[in-house]
């Protein structure tokens, strides 16, 4: 059974940093694409970043490019999202997601979503 558990959310001031973690189980990283998505109150879900488990390639949405970094530790079955220079508009529930296979582009995954989802962790950025 695929399980994804996010942690690391919290309250931070604008300009600060947070690192989210996604502990995964039930699958092999090499065979999956893993991503981070977010949903702010009253807004649609937005794809933030994803990583291809097979070749390690990464993709970012324009809204976070240059500020967020996705990485994975395959030995620990954990994916991280390092978030720097946070802005109030980054406030949202952040979800980790995973999709079997690594065939599609990063933009595809961020647009259409993935098959398996965690329950999310709340990030609040104060101004």
With 80 as the cut, is the pLDDT of residue 103 above it?
no
7-54 pLDDT per residue, tens: 999 999 999 999 999 999 999 888 899 999 999 999 999 999 999 988
CB 83 within 8 A of CB 114: no
With 80 as the cut, is the pLDDT of residue 70 above it?
yes
pLDDT-derived band at 72, boundaries 50, 70, 90: very high
Q: Tokens representing 2? A: 């695929």
The kind and range of the H/E element at 11 are strand 10-13
Q: What average pLDDT does the structure give for the chain?
A: 95
The kind and range of the H/E element at 112 are helix 106-112
Q: What pLDDT score does 102 carry?
A: 75
With 80 as the cut, is the pLDDT of residue 114 above it?
yes
Backbone angles phi, psi at 74, to 5 degrees: -65, -30
CA distances from 76 to 23, 25, 58 (A): 8, 10, 19
| Residues in a beta bridge with 81 | 20, 70
Other CB atoms closer than 10 Å to residue 117's CB: what's the count? 16
């Amino acid at each position: 059974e695929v399980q994804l558990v996010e942690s690391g959310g919290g309250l931070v001031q604008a300009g600060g940093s947070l690192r989210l973690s996604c502990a995964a189980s039930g699958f092999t990283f090499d065979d999956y694409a893993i991503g981070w998505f977010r949903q702010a109150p009253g807004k649609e879900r937005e794809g933030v970043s994803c990583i291809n488990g097979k070749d390690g390639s990464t993709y970012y949405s324009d809204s976070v490019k240059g500020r967020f970094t996705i990485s994975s530790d395959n030995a620990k079955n954990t994916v991280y999202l390092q978030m720097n220079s946070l802005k109030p508009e980054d406030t949202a529930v952040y979800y980790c997601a995973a999709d079997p296979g690594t065939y599609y582009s990063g933009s595809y995954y961020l647009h259409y979503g993935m098959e398996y989802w965690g329950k999310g962790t709340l990030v609040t950025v104060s101004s």
